[in-house]
Structure 1
Amino acid sequence: MSDWAASAALAGVGASAFLSATVLPGNSELALSAFLYKWPDWLWASLAVATLANSAGSATSLYLGRLAPKKELPPRVARWFGRFGPAALVASWVPLVGDALPLAAGWLRLPFAPCLAWIALGKFLRYAALAFALRLA
C-alpha cells in the first residue's frame, strides 16, 4: 500500500474520532485499531490525528454548552466540577458519560484553554493505552 492510502485511511480515523466525541457514533477505537493493524509504523501520526480530532469534537461540545441557556446542573455534576474544575474533563474519554462532560463544562462557563488541555490529555491517554495494548497482542 502506498503512503497515499495510509494518508486517506488516517483521514478516516480523524473523521471517526471527531464524530466519536459528539453524540454521533464514530467508533474511533475500532478505526484506530484497524489503522494500526495495517500501518503500525504510523503509530505517532495516528495517535496525534485521533487525539486532535477527538479533542476538536469535544471542543465543539464545550462551545455548544456555552451557547445553551444557563440553568441549574444536576447536583452530582455540579459537585464533580466544583471539586475538580477543568481537570474533571480528563474523564471526557469515558464512553457515554464523557460526551456530556464538555457540554456541562461549557454550560458552567469554565475557562476554555484549561478545559481543552485536560480533554486532550484524557483523549491521548486513552488512545495511547489502546495502541500499547494492540502492540502487546
Structure 2
Amino acid sequence: MAKLLHKRIKVTDGVYSFDFSFHSPVTVIFGNSGIGKSLFYDIFSAYCSNINAKGVVFINSLTSADMVESALKTVKDSLFIIDNADIVMANKTRDFYDMDKSNQYIVFGRVTDRYTLDDKSEATIVEPQLGKFNLVYPSLKGCEL
C-alpha cells in the first residue's frame, strides 16, 4: 500500500484557506459539486507551480490518459492529487495504489466505493467559516481537523 508522506497541507490564495490533515496514505475526498474539491486542486496546483514544488503530481480530466498511466507507473516518493477521479480513474479503481509503496494519494470524487481502503481514508470537505475549509472523516465520528 502507498505511504503517508504529508500529514498536513495548509494553503491559501488570500481568499480561500485550506487546512487538511491526513491519517492515511490514500485519502478519498468525496462529495457533490461545489464543496471545494476542485477549488483546492486549483489553489494547491497554482501554489506548487509558483514555488516550483517537486514531488507533487496533479492529475485531472484534462490530463491525457498516456500521461496518467506513465506517472502512475514511474513516479516515486510523490504526492498524487487526482481531481475528477470518477472520470480519470474510472477503469483503474484501487489498482493504481494497491501495489504502490512509495507515493501518497489524495483522490477527489463523488463516490467512494471503488477507492476506499479503511475508515481513516474517507473524508469530505467542510467550510466551518466562510472561505476556510477543513476535512471531516465521517467514520471517525465527525472528527473535524
- TM-score of the aligned structures, taking structure 2 as reference length: 0.28
Task: Write 1 or 2 for the structure with the bigger share of strand.
Answer: 2
Give the structure, 1 or 2, with the largest relative contact order (CA under 8 Å, sep 6 or more).
Answer: 2
- TM-score of the aligned structures, taking structure 1 as reference length: 0.29
